[in-house]
Chain A
Amino acid sequence: MVNNDTIEKHTIAVLVDNEPGVLARVIGLFSGRGYNIESLTVAEVNNADHLSRITLVTSGTRMVVEQIKAQLDRLVPVHRVKDLTDEGPSVERELALVKVAGRGEQRIEALRLADIFKAKVVDATLTSFIFELTGTPAEVDDFVGLMAQLGLVEASRTGVVAMSKGPGGF
């Protein structure tokens, strides 16, 4: 009956009223029904109308992904649900702050790689850097992976924000 058992990864954008509890509703939906959340970001995007945009990355069978969207859409404060993975090409970006500590050759190598990844230095001491990097989640993964060998202290990532390509909007 379940027509397809392959697991698909989907990026879903949700426009919601920025009211108390709305994030708890979304998260509660995922935990209560056992859905995966790989990434979730939220911030107000329309100050005048108090609208927030949630971007979440989830995975599941086709049937589960369709369920997730239907369940999200059914929440009273949800305006729209858009499956960016299904609706044509989209842009996905993530911002990361990555702190590395070290001296000498290691430090130079870290800087060199940061340059290649177009990461900015936003804090520097004699023994450490904080890099700011914006890129696709895969690029951020790669960069953090490389830094792990060059004195990574910690990384802080925003999670994915995404938008469909072309002139169309939400």
Chain B
Amino acid sequence: MPEQKLTGAQIVIKALKDQGVDIIFGYPGGAVLPIYDALFQQNDLRHILVRHEQAAVHAAEGYARSTGKVGVVLVTSGPGATNAVTGLLDALCDSIPIVCLCGQVPTHLIGNDAFQEADTTGITRPCTKHNYLVKDVNNLARTLHEAFYVARSGRPGPVVVDLPKDVQFADGTYVPPVEVKHKTYRPQVKPDIARIEEAVELIAQAKRPIFYTGGGVVNSGPIAAKLLTQFVKMTGFPITSTLMGLGAYPASEPHWLGMLGMHGTYEANLAMYHCDVMINIGARFDDRVTGKLSEFAPGSKKIHIDIDPSSINKNVAVDVPIVGDCAHALEDMIRIWKARQKRADQGALADWWNQIRKWQARNCLNYSRTESVIKPQYALERLRESLRGKDFYIATEVGQHQMWAAQFLPFEAPNRWLTSGGLGTMGYGLPAAIGAQIAHPEAICVDVAGEASILMNIQELGTAVQFRAPVKVFILNNQYMGMVRQWQELLHGSRYSQSYSEALPDFVKLAESWHCAGLRATKVGEVDDVIAEMLSINDRPVVVDIAVDPKENCFPMIPGGKAHNHILLGPEDNVSEATPEDGMVLV
């Protein structure tokens, strides 16, 4: 092919197309006008105009998480870029592949405090996996391809490409994305077989084993989830997962113990505490999961599979570290398990399951059912029943409702659960649900929200209406920043400092003002009807305001600084007594 001369803006469009991009989430401004002009003159890339740049990144995350593809964002310089920062860090914490293109002032003005100038590469350096400033249009195409490669390879993450306006205008040469051989960045995907063999031997001897899986399985792709399911069935071991890993193993399967961690199930946390062999696949021993480190699964040997070597031995020293992609590692493990004709110790396993059944019999997600007020758990149970067998995606905001959604909604497949785990960003859910809905127009996309969180990106209802994304916003309205209120009640003498949701809008009218449907339930008897109506509306977004018990707390709960076996099951267990002084400083 002869050398083509294109403008920088045209190179951007061509590179995106060649990377298989079909959707961009963005917001225009002076420093990206050439790219918006080029977008205007083509029909392959669809641009979703958000109402705030933070939401552009969250929408791209929802798109990426629900499709396994890289999410693409386009924002202007200065305030456009700084608005995107929260989203970028969110994607970094949860390992979501994003390429974010930022406009920048022309190269000759960089460093001059020019209008809408920000040191974007400086600001985003600790919030991205990598970032670039392109000063020469002839490096643009290669850099963009490299950005996609870095974003999706190894442990995925967000990559920023900062594009000065003069570079967007300049003529340069386009190069196609030949299999980018990055000079330095080549993450190890294939695990060391000797380690896998070691792991298989350890697994075969286990008496009280547990699989502890995380977002890495989801990121690895559907094959990893399939192999995980296969391996769990072959061994007959129990399995739990982190918040980020939900769906990688089907929740309806008998080996599933539910989520673990601070608000995880009793059985999952106690099984972790008492296990003798822990098989961590794609999780990172996060503090929400481990609780008190010195008493974390004290009698266990630990196997840890992770594609990021820096995750291994970071918080918890492990016995068998395996660097590699989950799918490759699982494939090798299954092969060697079969070849060596391994079989779990059936007697020990039966005893272990007996013990686990006893823990399960505590029925830790039980709550006091009442006719007088809608319990948030009840609303989610009813949502669960109405979604059964349907094709759905669930996004959440952050707070109690998020934890209840994780506890009460069943995920049978990966990529269906979109939540801000690592950063815990209120305002994530609505744009993420929109991103998922844009990618899956026929599916049911629900944002399980709190009345406080939803206000952080409520303006995105406009985006949903404009782009015909009939998302469902399911607000569990407890009139409080419930999770804050819960900590204040349990740890700060019930002094509810600034956690009451004062001056709330009428969510039904608010929805209607955007030409969305607005529904409300205030009585237990109304919940089913409202959910049915919500699911029947498919031509516009729906906002559902469910008035739930303002006092309900989220249990089980492992108090800060405590080990798994100190899990509290309900209000009858005293949290402030259970929280050690050094636990109070933990978040």
Contacts and interface: CB of A to CB of B under 8 A. Distances in A.
Contacts of B150: 76
Given A2-B317, A17-B184, A76-B182, 19 more contacts: A1-B294, A1-B296, A1-B316, A1-B317, A3-B317, A20-B121, A21-B122, A24-B125, A25-B125, A66-B313, A67-B313, A67-B314, A70-B309, A71-B310, A74-B308, A76-B130, A76-B184, A78-B184, A79-B183
Interface residues of B, number: 24
B314 A28 contact: no
A77 interface: yes
A94 interface: no
A74 B125 contact: no
A74 B310 contact: yes
Interface of B: 121-122, 125-126, 129-131, 133, 150, 182-185, 293-294, 296, 308-310, 312-314, 316-317
11 contacts: A1-B317, A17-B183, A20-B133, A21-B121, A21-B125, A24-B125, A28-B125, A67-B313, A71-B310, A79-B183, A79-B184
A63 interface: yes
Interface string A59-82: 000010011001101101111000
A168 interface: no
A20 B122 CA distance: 11
A131 B350 CA distance: 77
Interface in A69-111: 70-71, 73-74, 76-79
A106 B281 CA distance: 68
A14 to B, nearest CB: 11
What 10 pairs between A and B have smallest CB-CB spacing? Answer: A70-B310, A76-B130, A70-B309, A76-B185, A79-B184, A71-B310, A74-B310, A32-B126, A3-B317, A1-B317
Nearest to A67: B314
Contacts of B294: 1
Nearest to B184: A79
B125 A76 contact: no
Contacts of A21: 121-122, 125, 131, 133
A1 B316 CA distance: 7
Interface string A8-31: 000000000100110011001000
B243 to A, nearest CB: 23
Contacts of A3: 317
Interface string A28-49: 1000100000000000000000
B441 to A, nearest CB: 35
A63 B313 contact: yes
A74 to B, nearest CB: 5
Nearest to B128: A76
Contact of B317 (A63, A70, A76): A63
A32 B185 CA distance: 22
Nearest to A68: B310
Nearest to A50: B183
B125 A67 contact: no
A52 to B, nearest CB: 12
Nearest to B295: A1
A74 B157 CA distance: 12
A50 to B, nearest CB: 10
B122 A24 contact: yes
A48 B255 CA distance: 57
B126 A28 contact: yes
A66 B122 CA distance: 26
A63 B321 CA distance: 14
Contacts of B310: 67, 70-71, 73-74
A1 B293 contact: yes
Nearest to A71: B310
Nearest to B149: A76
Contact of B312 (A2, A70, A78, A79): A70
Contacts of A1: 293-294, 296, 316-317
A63 B315 CA distance: 9
Contacts of B296: 1
